[in-house]
Amino acid sequence: MDKMSKMPDKRGRFGSYGGAFVPETLVPVLRELEKTYRAAIKDKTFISEYKNLLRDYVGRPTPLYPAERLSSELGHKIYLKREDLCHTGAHKINNSIGQAMLAVRMGKTRIIAETGAGQHGVATATAAARFGLQCDIYMGEVDMDRQSLNVTRMELLGARVIPVKVGQKTLKEAVSAAIRDWVANSGHTHYILGSALGPHPFPMIVRDFQSCIGKESIMQIKKTEKKLPDVLIACVGGGSNSIGLFHPFLKFSPVRMIGVEAGGSGSGLGEHAARFSGGRTGILQGTKTYVLQDEFGQIALTHSVSAGLDYAAVGPEHAFLKDAGRVEYMKVSDDDAIAAFQILSKTEGILPALESAHAIAGLIKMAPSLTPKSTVIVNLSGRGDKDVEQVKKFLNKNLRLNAFPDDVSNAEFSPQSPENQIGAYSFA
């Protein structure tokens, strides 16, 4: 298990996954980034500045909150790691601040990024403003429409939001546009990739900057419970919030880890974004991993009510951990994520991001099968302010979900299949 926590290898591989499949012009750029990063993490001044910014600017450590009402309803001791309380409203700022510092160290004057849900875009625009860097954010037109609040936030922070109008007009196309820009302008531009994917060294860098989530959780749960948790649960899009929680726990073999993917509206290709349920090994946007693709190897369309999980590939370390059996992966549907959004709101007074609502839905699905009175940490990766309009639109189209019960005990759980699919909620 400890060997797992020391990956990737010198080639940037997590077992057979990872690597750097990029245009020749980006090879020296990636090598410069890796060299700069490895030097920076050995530099006491860099580490001190980073930790100070996490404390004084981002607001770390974030609380490990005991969700008492939800715990009572589910029969387990549930803790929420409150990344929604970070500055900008999500975990993304942990990585954006760190990479902005690397950009300054490399002498770059311009930052670019991709964003789906908008939280990484907001975090990157925030970091760029903090360090006085020019900032351009690529975002698919579909995501700009469903995350319009975050578009305005980015613009107010001084960033230019560039709409991507090709393909599905979501996160995959935004990543492609950002990479093309980076190839053309790498001399003065740094690409702050927002998730633990893409070519090496990005999966390693993003994971390490996000590992503050898991490191804090270990200290906090030991102080509160005098022991490690039994289970960790987090949503998985590209995989940054989940790997940030999971990675520091890898060496503790008794701790069970569950990643929750977007099951979307159905099981057919193009109806979901569950790479481990419907994908297979492939190469996308610089890395080898699990990819949703058709029988000819063409990248499949994806769907999720959550813009941040709506992506055809997953981080290579997640692919390795899945094959190794160290982390379990499941999927939950749009309906169940929306139901979980409502349940957490009504039981704990917390509006989760739709991404995080998938993790809550995963918790509700798994609760009946967990050892009685298990201690569970759920990573609440972001807050739901950005999703209120999207939830409202969804509920207006699905009136049956408006009949929300007074307490969670009225929400019946009925598993549909043994393949890690969450059952439908039926409200009494």
Query: Over the stretch 160-206, which tens digit does the pLDDT of each residue have?
Result: 999 999 999 998 899 999 999 999 999 999 999 999 999 999 999 99
- Please say whether the beta carbons of 212 and 94 come within 8 A: yes
Distance from CA of residue 159 to its chain's centroid?
A: 22
Two tokens, residue 47: 């580490």
**Among the options 83, 114, 216, 355, which is catalytic?**
114
CA distance 334 to 340: 10
H or E segment to which residue 339 belongs: helix 334-348
**Among the options 77, 81, 92, 322, which is catalytic?**
92
- Please say whether the beta carbons of 279 and 291 come within 8 A: yes
Residue 186 annotated to the active site = no
Query: How many other CB atoms are found less than 10 A from the CB of residue 253?
Result: 10
- Quick check: pTM over 0.85? yes
**Among the options 333, 348, 381, 386, which is catalytic?**
381
What integer pLDDT is reported at residue 6 of this predicted model? 85
Report domain extents, the chain: 14-56+92-207, 61-89+211-427
Under the banding of pLDDT at 50, 70 and 90, the label for residue 416 is very low
Q: Which residue has the tokens 């490399």?
A: 106
Residue 240 annotated to the active site = no
User: In angstroms, what CA-CA distances link 206 with 91, 216, 268, 382?
Assistant: 11, 17, 31, 17
CATH code, residues 61-89+211-427: 3.40.50.1100
Q: Minimum mean pLDDT among 12-26, 376-390, 399-413: which range?
A: 399-413
Query: Over 70: is that where the pLDDT of 428 sits?
Result: no
Q: Minimum mean pLDDT among 130-139, 143-152, 193-202, 321-330: which range?
A: 143-152
* Same fold for the pair 14-56+92-207 and 61-89+211-427: yes
CATH code, residues 14-56+92-207: 3.40.50.1100
Residue 114 annotated to the active site = yes
Work out the average pLDDT over 27-48. Answer: 98
